[in-house]
Amino acid sequence: MGLNTSKLPNGPEMYVGEGYGLTQIEKVIGLARANSIWPLPFATSCCGIEFMATMASTYDLGRFGAERLSFSPRQADLLMVMGTIAKKMGPVLKQVYTQMAEPKWVIAVGACASSGGIFDTYSVLQGIDKVIPVDVYVPGCPPPPEAILDGILKIQELIKNEPLRRRESAEYNDLLHSYQID
């Protein structure tokens, strides 16, 4: 009687026998987290309109386990920043990020959230990574729903492969510290 290795679609590698599978707890938790993201849409302009299409029936973000939007940062896993962030909005965005519980991820959707975009001007934040750390950037002005979905899939890959202790690591704390977030 030998152990067979098997792989679930998009899942971790595991040893399977009669009625059980054997893998690392880290992989199982990653799998569960990645497929049950609660996104918090922080939509300020046209990228937010594309996000509405992403949530609606044709593209249906629900297929990836993320149909339950959280409009409270305290329950959200993924902050989706979609649109131009004026400098006056910067502290608000940072406060929303700070209120989210760990583990949390951030996706910058579109040119404005990523770099300020066409708003090369004194009043616009030149990318949200000036105030909060960002995991995935989605290019486009605005990006189509396909691109936003691709960004979500990239986030899922990050979540699946994240070590359980990453949020306690010195590197992660240094990263937060560099943004004056404690």
Partner 1 sequence: MAEVNHQILGEAIAEQFGRQVLSLEESYGTLDVVVDKSIIIPLIHWLKNHQTFKVNFLTSLCGVHFPEQKGRELSVVYHLHSLMNNIRFRIHVFLPASHPEIPTLTTLFAGANWMERETFEFYGIKFIGHPDLRIILNVEDMDYHPLLKQYPLVDATRTDKDDKYFGR
Residues contributing to the site for partner 1 (CB under 8 A): 87-88, 90, 115-116, 118, 120-124, 126-127, 130
Under a CB-based contact definition with an 8 Å cutoff, are residues 44 and 28 in contact? no
User: Other CB atoms closer than 10 Å to residue 125's CB: what's the count?
Assistant: 21
Q: Which is nearer to partner 1, 70 or 126 (CB)?
A: 126
Q: How far is the CB of 134 from partner 1 (least distance, A)?
A: 13
Q: Which is nearer to partner 1, 40 or 93 (CB)?
A: 93
Phi/psi at 37 (5° precision): -70, 135
Q: Which residues contact 71 (CB under 8 A, 6 or more apart)?
A: 40, 41
Q: How far is the CB of 126 from partner 1 (least distance, A)?
A: 5
Write out the H or E segment, with its range, that includes residue 115. helix 110-115
For tokens 């329950």, what's the residue?
A: 75
Q: How far is the CB of 108 from partner 1 (least distance, A)?
A: 13
3-state helix, strand, coil in the chain (%, to 5): 40, 20, 40
Q: How far is the CB of 13 from partner 1 (least distance, A)?
A: 38
Q: Which is nearer to partner 1, 78 or 131 (CB)?
A: 131
Q: Which is nearer to partner 1, 5 or 121 (CB)?
A: 121
